[in-house]
Amino acid sequence: MMRTSLAALATALLAALPAVAHAQTNVVATIGMIGDVARTIAADCATVTTLMGPGIDPHLYQATARDVQTFGSADLILYSGYTLEGQLADILDRLGQRTPTLAVSEAAVPPADLLTTDDSYGVDPHVWMDVSLWARTVPVIATALTDEAPQCAEAIAERATAYQARLLALHDWVKESLATIPETRRVLVTAHDAFAYFGRAYGIEVAGIQGISTAAEASIADIRETAGLLVERAIPAIFVESTINRRTIEAVIDAAAQQDHAVTIGGELFADAMGETGTPDGTYIGMIVSNARAITEALGGAPAPFPEALVPWAAEWNLTQ
């Protein structure tokens, strides 16, 4: 009922809103990973608003009337697609009739590079977990920004080129870091199955207690199966996620303990949302760095030194290797 009401509200609101020319391009992004890319390459050429902030699970997100108003004031709307923003689907369809609206992941990542699931969810939408794939969104977003702010075309292109190069260096750093984990321990166990692209890109086996979506609770069978994997493979650590309640992880730890295998929480990973604004984790690069460091160290490896392309980013946040 709520989804139908909001879809109707979106139609009514957008019909009533006049076309307004903004002094600065107003961009609305659904998730932080998209918003950060847009903000980085737009700089002062656009104002970027992110709908879902830290700790927000996009799988479960329900739009509000205020969100519809935020969308209604946008010159450009950027969203992931591939059903990540399932609750917003109807609204985004209607918004696209009036406002330039771009499904970033769908536009940037070709079908051959996508992962699919065995359940009804279809395409796995977590493509930002493979930095080399997410780097492909940079020129796509840059083109969309340039269309709305053509006076900034040259500056946007320059920033996009530099940022994409930085992301590709980040991709290599993550791969090098995870390669230091002893091979028998190269297993990443998390709350839900958001790390499949990460696992494929960086050579680590991934096991999620829940499936792709977090809409359903993990079952007792899921918990027992995961605990059995930890015991069988002698995996020392399991990871929580910033958008998901810890109780499922704690249940797995308890189940492993009943089989005389001690498991620690290796750290909090960022999967469907970035960290707090104003912190390194509140950037796309920062969330990936934080994830890679936590996984590498908890499983017995050592993070590689930052490559030259990441040194300016690290210096900006006063980070040392």
Does residue 305 lie in a domain region?
yes
What single letter denotes the amino acid at residue 286?
G
Beta bridge partners of 239: 267
Count each helix (H run) and each strand (E run) in the chain, helices first. 13, 8
pLDDT for 216 equals: 54
Answer yes or no: do 89 and 155 share one domain.
Answer: yes
Does residue 321 lie in a domain region?
no
Answer yes or no: do 191 and 121 share one domain.
Answer: no
Does residue 145 lie in a domain region?
yes
Boundary residue ending a domain (133, 165, 197): 165
Answer yes or no: do 15 and 156 share one domain.
Answer: yes
Answer yes or no: do 9 and 149 share one domain.
Answer: yes
Structural domain for 250, as ranges:
174-316
Answer yes or no: do 142 and 193 share one domain.
Answer: no
- Give the sign of the dihedral formed by CA 152, CA 154, CA 157, CA 159: negative
pLDDT for 23 equals: 63
Whole-number Å distance between alpha carbons of 61 and 83:
12
Answer yes or no: do 88 and 128 share one domain.
Answer: yes
pLDDT digits (tens), the chain, 321 positions: 444 455 555 555 444 444 444 568 999 999 999 999 999 999 999 999 999 999 888 887 888 888 888 998 999 999 999 989 877 877 888 888 889 999 999 999 999 999 987 665 689 999 999 999 999 999 999 999 999 999 999 999 999 999 999 999 999 999 999 999 999 899 999 876 789 999 999 999 998 786 545 445 667 888 898 899 999 999 999 998 866 668 888 889 999 999 999 999 998 999 999 999 999 999 999 999 999 999 999 999 999 999 999 999 999 999 987
At 305, which CATH number?
3.40.50.1980
Boundary residue ending a domain (117, 141, 165): 165
Does residue 265 lie in a domain region?
yes
What single letter denotes the amino acid at residue 37?
V
Answer yes or no: do 21 and 87 share one domain.
Answer: yes
Answer yes or no: do 155 and 19 share one domain.
Answer: yes
Answer yes or no: do 147 and 187 share one domain.
Answer: no
CB 191 within 8 A of CB 241: yes
Answer yes or no: do 40 and 144 share one domain.
Answer: yes
Answer yes or no: do 122 and 150 share one domain.
Answer: yes
pLDDT for 69 equals: 87
Answer yes or no: do 212 and 295 share one domain.
Answer: yes
Does residue 303 lie in a domain region?
yes
Distances (CA, A) of 84 to 108, 126, 214: 15, 8, 11
Q: How many domains does the chain have?
A: 2
Boundary residue ending a domain (165, 192, 208): 165
